[in-house]
Structure 1
Amino acid sequence: MDQRTELSEFLRSRRARLQPQEVGLIYYGGRRRVPGLRREELAQLAGVSVAYYTRLEQGHAENVSSTVLEAIAAALRLSPAEREHLSRLVRPVHRRSRAAVRPQRVRPELQQLLDVMHSVPACVLGRRMDVLSWNPLYCALFGDYAALPAEQRNLAWQIFRDPAARELFVDWQGKATDVVAILRLEAGRDPEDPRLCALVGELSVQSEDFRRLWATHNVADKGYGTKNLHHPVVGPLALRYETFALPADPDQTLLTYHAEPASNSAESLRLLASWWASREQHEDSTAR
């Protein structure tokens, strides 16, 4: 991914979403030729010259000081994830190496933790949103990852290429928006990752929805919240999700889902676990 182009398009997209009245500038009405703030208005807010900001927005980030970068981030009202993304676009970390592209491994102790989380769907995510490991209830909820080819064990691939995902997530559009924003942040962290570039390329070719969302340049980090699902076996589910950073494995995160205790969703998860266990037992007996 070309860093100058990425920087240019990101700054333009952030500037376009701001209106003069939102940032305290006087607006006398009338038609504006560009969406959002003009370059000179953004430069005024950041306390830099128009020429300086114009060069930066054109992708020329040489010798930009931290003070100036912070002023521009504040003027654009960037979120913490967006500030990180901007910083990495201005000062890219070239970390491509055999260590960056070789397959990731999940520690056995971490797999043991997943296996004993019987009532909690959980998985370990790696770079580029690859699903590295999972427990049985995660498969019961989201599909049998063990049966998928390695290149399809990826949340972004699942959301945009698996038709079942559109039926599973009640707010598919919101989920798709979140996934693309996280993937865009990943791209800023490691723009030279060939597998990430290949994934973005494939999804851009195969999915109009992905192309549209990728063009927004929105970025976000993994977090927490609630997802409403409609599972083909147990029906509606309202589940809370949490993501946990793994300091010993900095490119991996633990993703978990859980239901409100004593809720209908908790009972549905229990039934789902029982159904999946019966399914696996049947497959084992058939294979013998």
Structure 2
Amino acid sequence: MAAEVREAIVKTGAEVEDGVLATMPRSLKYTAAQIRSIIESYKSSDISTIINNLSNIRNIEDVILYITILSYLVGNNIKGNGMLEAYSREFEKMDSISASKLRHLLTNVLGEEAPINIHVNKILKIIEFLKHKKGTYLWILKEKRLDRFEKDVREFVFENNGGYSIDRGIKLFIRIFIDKNTIPLAYKIAYNKNEVRKYKIHGDFYTTLVAMRSGSFEDVDSPTASKIKQRVARALICRSRKERCDPLRIRLKSVRGLVRTIAYLSGDPIAFERGAYHIGKNYCARLRCEECPIRNVCKKYIFIEVK
């Protein structure tokens, strides 16, 4: 049953557009589709053939810069409702990258109180490095292994820094370029299932909520999963007796490893993450069970709360 739940979540994720692409400016979204089409057509060819075809795409570097700056912002804990939409609108207004234009973009997205000049200087440094040292998109094309790709993104975009927020930014960057349904520039990873399965999802609130409430963990053999199953069993007994029962509260950090295992077992962690996030945000958190795309297989453990 748990496998069926995971399969349903992956199916939902495959049908849902990634939020980054969904909010991308129309012109860049068209460019992303061109990149995806070329990679799909020439993925078995030598890299020079792919480069020759990609070189004819207008705005290809703008797509990379768009994702790079967005990843930087997310990695520096800049988020919130409407951030993607605001960033997209402001980026679309820029006809080139300069300090003054970046400052205007960041001011409108982040507000006057943010350390704008610090961010501007760091972003310009990143862009300069990628353009003149690595080739804006060439280095991504050459990536073959997920662990190496992650290491390079951490070095090139985040100056080898770590931390919770930076890991989110790195995962955003990687996810976009290793997913066949988005912009699979890192095609040697994107079309290698074994490499894609190594992608460790972030494990945000919505994804965790769905992973727990749906019962997608019930066939996992681990101490954390066993503990959750025991707590769920007690909660079900309490409710079957129609007693007054407290919610089953689960700390997000305590099950992040379990949620990542569930995503791995799904066979497509990227689609699982996208599907679970979509379900969590639009259905599970609002208790819209009857409209939920996984309603026929979900265990509906709505007494679970994630903190």
Tell me if TM exceeds 0.5.
no
Q: TM-score, normalised by structure 2?
A: 0.29
Relative contact order (alpha carbons < 8 A, sep ≥ 6): 1 or 2 greater? Answer: 2
Greater share of residues in strand: 1
Q: TM-score, normalised by structure 1?
A: 0.30
Structure with greater Cα Rg:
1
